[in-house]
Amino acid sequence: MSRFDTYFLMKTADVLDYARERLDLFDKNADLECKEIGDGNLNYIFRVWDKNSDKSVIIKQAGNYARISDAFKLSPDRNRIESEMLQLEYKLAPGLVPMIYKFDEVMACCSMEDLSDHVIMRRALIEHKKFPLFADHITTYMVNTLLMTTDVVMDHKEKKSLVTNYINPELCEISEDLVYTEPFNDNKKRNLVFPPNLKWVEENIYADEALRLEVAKLKFDFLTNAQALIHGDLHTGSIFIKSDSTKVIDPEFAFYGPIGYDTGNVIANLIFAWANADATISDTAERADYCGWLEKTIVEVIDMFITKWKAAWKENVTEVFAKVKGFDEWYLNSILADTAAVTGLELSRRIIGMAQVKDITTIPDQKARVRAERFCLTAAKDFIMKRSDYKYGADFLKTLKSSVEKFPRS
């Protein structure tokens, strides 16, 4: 009998023993060390390495509660979903996700490729680093993983089987609450509105009934639209990156949902990076250069996605009615509308809701943070209310720039 035959939440010493006993990655005489490296909202992440070689591994364990709050009781099955999702994505988008070595159902943990030579993208963007290949990499990842798991490509029975396999009610409930409900519903227990902006949020978000109606429509689409197997949490904190490599991680929120939920999350978090740079880079030329790169990247993500999507559609679509003239354009336009809407939802929930982003919260100057939050929320409303107007990357950038102009720099 092994103590790892029964689930328990591991500490650093336990993880070392687990690596020696349950993984075949290291030599018997390896001199192993372990360090907890995760600071996310849900799970426990450890790095184990051999001091005498270049061998290392990441071990990620799911607990029964979210780290962000004990209010979220969760099934450790999310680690199974993440492991299977990464293995599927590795086939669909090779090189753009880490390799999974082992999934342990009993201990609710997975062992995967160590990406210590990469950095978390959000952290790098806050440090104002550029990644010229990101737009190309992330659009390949999204097109390959999203289109190839839809009914327009897959056998319908096979797709429905995947829908069943990726039923993820507890993680979906977090999104339903934190993204689609509480930021627009004045949840005083969990919303974390920056106090200097509270009155503005009350007047411009909570009191906007037209906005709440559109969010209600979007919420029920999220609940019912099993369009593709989505990552479900595709922000810059779920991406490891370096100059020549992009790796998408943490698909534990994966389920069959609207494609625009992934694409919109990417755009919103690039906007957060823009807001941070605009607020924190004091040199005018340096600020213009970095914000200009982010603007170019926002446009490229949308436009490259469209181009690659159209090419992959022609090559891979099997559903006979998806080949009806005009259907491809209607389908893509619906994705772009959802992308705009989710951009607005993500901008809103990361400023108003409980799961906030360091791009905004680390802005040291209070007036600059107030301004950044207000132009992000103003853009968010346009993205949601006018979502059918977005066809190209330039349309997304135009909304950002026009919203910024409404709040001149003091």
pLDDT of residue 74: 73
Supply φ then ψ for residue 38, to 5 degrees: -80, 140
Q: Which of 120, 309, 141, 349 is nearest to 229 (CA)?
A: 141
Nearest to 114 by CA among 226, 30, 19: 19
Q: How far is CA 243 from CA 129, 131, 134, 140, 240, in A?
A: 10, 6, 9, 16, 11
Averaged pLDDT, 360-378: 98
Q: What integer is the mean pLDDT of 379-394?
A: 98
Beta bridge partners of 33: 49
pLDDT for res 39:
60
More confident site: 128 or 80: 128
Amino acid letter for position 161:
S
pLDDT of residue 70: 63
Structural domains of the chain, ranges and CATH numbers in brackets: 3-112 (3.30.200.20), 119-405 (3.90.1200.10)
Q: Is the pLDDT of residue 102 over 90?
A: yes
> 279 and 364 in contact (C-beta within 8 Å)?
no
Q: How many CB atoms lie within 10 A of CB 28?
A: 5
Calpha distance 387→263 (Å, rounded): 14
User: With bands split at pLDDT 50, 70 and 90, how would you rate the model's confidence at 404?
Assistant: very high
User: What pLDDT score was predicted for residue 71?
Assistant: 66
Q: For residue 274, what pLDDT is reported?
A: 99
CA dihedral for 119, 123, 127, 132, sign (positive or negative): positive
Average pLDDT (164-170) is 94
Residues 143-163 have pLDDT tens digits of 999 999 999 999 999 999 999
Overall average pLDDT of the 242-253 stretch: 96
Average pLDDT over residues 200-227: 98
- pLDDT digits 0-9 by tens, 324-360: 999 999 999 999 999 999 999 999 999 999 999 999 9
Average pLDDT over residues 186-214: 96
Residue labelled with tokens 């939920």: 261
**Residue 41 pLDDT > 70, yes or no?**
no
Q: What pLDDT sits at residue 389? A: 98
Q: Tell me the C-alpha distance between 118 and 358, whole Å.
A: 19
* pLDDT exceeds 80 at position 76: no
The dihedral region occupied by 326, where left means phi > 0, alpha psi between -120 and 50, and beta the remainder, is left
Bridge partners (DSSP) listed for residue 199: none
Task: Read off the DSSP letter of residue 35.
Answer: E
pLDDT digits (tens, 9 = 90+) for 21-34: 999 999 988 999 99
The distance of Cα 395 from the centroid of its chain, to the nearest Å, equals 22
Taking all residues of the chain, what is their mean pLDDT, rounded to a whole number?
Answer: 95
pLDDT of 398 strictly over 80: yes
Residue type at 192 in one-letter notation = L
Which phi and psi angles does 37 have, rounded to 5°?
-120, -10
Q: Which of 297, 312, 289, 309 is nearest to 400 (CA)?
A: 297
